A = this chain, B = another copy of it.
């Protein structure tokens, strides 16, 4: 086996990138779904406030998205920079 250390490091980085993005998409995916589900319910009951509710939904989702973006950043760093 002609494996050098730098290659073992790369292999670990690639596996880690896959785990970081895969696991890191579960939380925001479900969380943002809950936000939009409740926003649809609220708009259905009170359609006059649709603009306000859509704005709140997008702000709430944007914050919830953040951890998904952190995961993306870590995965990209593991792929290219390191």
Contact = CB atoms under 8 A, between A and B. Distances in A.
A72 B71 CA distance: 8
A18 B15 CA distance: 8
Contact of A79 (B54, B62, B78): B78
Instruction: Kindly report how many copies of this chain are found in the complex they form together.
Output: 14
B36 A43 contact: no
A68 B65 contact: no
Size range of the chain A interface in the assembly: 35 or more
Contact of A15 (B4, B16, B25, B36): B16
A53 B40 CA distance: 6
Contact of A26 (B27, B62, B65, B69): B27
A60 B61 contact: yes
Contact of A28 (B29, B39, B77): B29
13 contacts: A6-B7, A9-B10, A16-B16, A22-B71, A25-B25, A27-B27, A29-B32, A36-B60, A37-B38, A40-B53, A41-B42, A42-B44, A54-B59
